[in-house]
Structures are given as structure tokens and as C-alpha cells.
Amino acid sequence: MRTQVVIIGAGPAGLLLSHLLGLDGVDSVLIERQSAEHVQSRIRAGILEAGTVEVLRDAGVGERLGAEALRHRGIYLQWPGHREHVDFVDLIGRSVSVYGQTEVTKDLMAARERADRPVFYGASQVELHGVDTDRPHVTFVDADGQAHRIEAQVIAGCDGHHGPSRQALPAALRQTWTRDYPFAWLGVLAEVPPSTDELIYAWHRDGFAMHSMRSSTISRFYLQVRPGEDPAEWPDERIWTALATRLGAHDGGWQLTTGPITEKSVLPMRSFVATPLRHGRLFLAGDAGHIVPPTGAKGLNLAVADVVLLHRALVAWLLDGKPELAESYSDTALRRVWRCTHFSWWMTTMLHRHGDDFDARLQLAQLDAVRTSTAAATELAQNYAGLPIGC
């Protein structure tokens, strides 16, 4: 089999790249190790930057997003005695949208089916070959046990942190930077209407808490816990008590709505950046090249930014014979990656209890600076609502 671009990984990054390339007449084949049902069911980020929303709408996959997403003007930052609204629209004229990654994936899968673009789900033994030659190819075994070889002009690695793409880079070129945080999140999905009109990020002496939402009837919550903590140690009553304590520690009569909890999981907190994001005919995008802690809501949005840059580069190279954007892809993408990594680190270290009381006082001083300084609040809004792609 021959194609122009082999895309390894059929999550949101791979699906979006295939869709954008297809709109410009560039052929692609998707290879995914999981089943379509598994890909569609993965629960991930739910906050879309203004730029991500614009990309999806311009690509023709934003109809349901436009109808169902919850638009948010900003967020609440909370610490004892304070709940401060950071209004992004007032500060920078942009908002964010709550629309789950699961829903983005469904929209992109539906677009792929309409366009009848080839995809192999349940692939195993995926190997990349000749990435530093003019004739790279990928070999794998499909879900029925049949071996395949696909030749291409370019391979795009959108296969996440544990996929084979990054490992295909020469070991002498690979560099990685990692920060493992001394805490994790207990993520909770509950069948209750949100108790807030905007997301709440709460600093508390017992640990961080967050109130998010998925719809008008489904709420999402997070609690700071120890790394590797067993969700079974958190029965529903303990979860609601901790959330009420950490989210209710401010002046006012706010009440937390409780109800049935349908899902519990523990999420590790990690920052990871790999370089380069391009070698020869291999390009990395999304989690294959970088991971951020979820505090700043950057993960899916960073992947979309990578894909937009990569799409532009590949169209210019494969259709117009102009390799300049492809040659600069890694450096261009990494500028934004590092800025978003810094913002995610800043939000994470400001809001989670760690260290001693000295560290706590520094965190409270940072939060108070956002409350009292328009410049500090604007900086937060610009980063949270999304930097320009290519910035």
C-alpha cells in the first residue's frame, strides 16, 4: 500500500491531521493500536481554547460543538476567604469552551467515516522504517492478524507518550525533560448539575480541589491526593465531604450539589518535553512529544496547535515543493510547547499544597497578585484562553 502520509495514532491529533490534510487533497492512512470503541470512550480534557474552537469550526467539524459546548468567560480562583472571578472576556476578549475530548473524537471519527479515509484499528507490532530516507514505510499486523507494509512520503507520529514513533528517532538525537509532581488528582464524574457557572480552582490547606463540568447535568471534580493512591480508599461520602470542605472555604452561602458518582480514577501529574519533534521524514505531534499536567487545560489544545502547524508544513512541502515550514516545524512548535509547559507548571505549583508553610505563603501571595494586579490577571487569561498558534 502507498500513501502520502502515514499517521500513527487515531486519537484527536491523528484524526484532525488526517481530516485537515484531506481537505487539501493530501492522502493519508491512520494506524491505531486500540479499537475504535476504546478510542471513542477515552475520557480526557474538556476545556477548549478559543483558537482550538476556531480550528474545529473552520475544518467543518464544529457543528455539534457550536450547539452543545458550554462557553465560559473565565474561571474562579479560590483560597480561604476569597473566590475571585478572572474574566477572560473583559481582560483579553476571548473565552474558553467546555466540550469533552470524547466529543471532539466522536466528531472527527464521524468526519473520517463520511470521507471514507482508511484507518486500521487494533494494529499491533507497529514499526517505523527508513525515516531518514526518501522512502519511509510502516509495518504492522492488523486486527485480523494480517501483516501490512505502507510506503509513504511522510510519517506523522500522533501515537501518544507510549507509542513507537518517538522511539524511532535516533537515540543520539533524543533529549527529554521531565518533572514528576509529588501529588496526583482523584478525578470524579458525577450525575449532578454543576454547582457553579464557571470552573473553580481552589487552594486549600488540605489540598487542591477543582469543580468542572461536562454538561448541564454532569459535573467533573478533582481532588489532590497522593501519587498512586487507590480510588477504592475514597468512598462517595469521603469524596463529597472533601469537596465540600475544599470548595466551600470562602465567604458566602455557596452550596455543593451532591449525587451519584459514576467514575473514579487517579491521574498522575507530570511535565514532559522531548526534542526534536522532527527527524527526516518523521514528525511528532501531541503527547508523542510532550505532556503537561492537566491544571492549565493545555494538553488537547497543544496537540491541536501541533497539528495545525504540521498540516501547513506538509501541504507546503508535499503539494507546493516548499520544505521551509517542514524544516522549521520542530523549533516553531517547541516555542509554544515550552510556554504552555511553563504556564501549566505555574498553575500547578501555585494551587497544590506541597512543601512547608513558607511555600504556602508564597502560593497565597501569587493568588493575591492575580486578584490585585490587572497585569497578572491578564497574563493568566492570555495563557489559559490560548496563545496564538505558532507563538
Residues forming the active site: 72, 201, 294, 298, 384
Task: Check pLDDT > 90 for residue 44.
Answer: no
Give 253's pLDDT tier (boundaries 50, 70, 90). confident
Residue ranges, comma separated, of all CATH 3.50.50.60 domains in the chain are: 5-71+97-177+270-352
pLDDT at position 99 is: 92
Whole-angstrom Cα distance, residue 128 to residue 369? Answer: 49
Task: Check pLDDT > 90 for residue 181.
Answer: yes
Give 216's pLDDT tier (boundaries 50, 70, 90). confident
- Does the domain made of 179-268+354-383 have the CATH classification 3.30.9.10? yes
Give 355's pLDDT tier (boundaries 50, 70, 90). very high
**What's the whole-number mean pLDDT along residues 214-231?**
93
pLDDT at position 100 is: 86
Q: What is the dihedral of CA 320, 174, 306, 327, to 10 degrees?
A: -20
Q: Which residue has the higher pLDDT, 248 or 14?
A: 14
pLDDT at position 390 is: 64
Residue ranges, comma separated, of all CATH 3.30.9.10 domains in the chain are: 179-268+354-383
pLDDT at position 338 is: 97
**What's the whole-number mean pLDDT along residues 252-281?**
94
Q: Name residue 102's beta-bridge partners.
A: none
**What backbone torsions phi and psi does residue 335 show, to the nearest 5 degrees?**
-60, -45
pLDDT at position 254 is: 87
pLDDT at position 215 is: 85
Q: Which residue has the higher pLDDT, 42 or 317?
A: 317
Give 42's pLDDT tier (boundaries 50, 70, 90). confident
Q: Give 281-337 pLDDT, tens digit per residue.
A: 999 999 999 999 999 999 999 999 999 999 999 999 999 999 999 999 999 999 999
The cell numbers describing 170, all together, are 535516533
Task: Check pLDDT > 90 for residue 352.
Answer: yes
The pLDDT mean for the chain works out to 95
pLDDT at position 353 is: 96
Cell 475571585 belongs to: 84
Candidates 305, 307, 309, 303; CA nearest to 329 is: 309
The residue type of 39 is V
Whole-angstrom Cα distance, residue 371 to residue 216? Answer: 29
Candidates 56, 51, 53; CA nearest to 23 is: 56
Indicate the range of 89-93, 114-118, 367-371 predicted with least confidence: 114-118
- Does the domain made of 5-71+97-177+270-352 have the CATH classification 3.50.50.60? yes
Task: Check pLDDT > 90 for residue 127.
Answer: yes
Whole-angstrom Cα distance, residue 248 to residue 245? Answer: 5
Task: Check pLDDT > 70 for residue 114.
Answer: yes
Indicate the range of 21-30, 90-99, 247-256, 274-283 predicted with least confidence: 247-256
Give 249's pLDDT tier (boundaries 50, 70, 90). low
Tally of CA atoms within 13 A in the half-sphere of 94 that contains its CB:
20
pLDDT at position 157 is: 98
Give 46's pLDDT tier (boundaries 50, 70, 90). confident
Task: Say how many C-beta atoms besides its own lie within 10 A of residue 127's C-beta.
Answer: 12
pLDDT at position 388 is: 85
pLDDT at position 377 is: 98
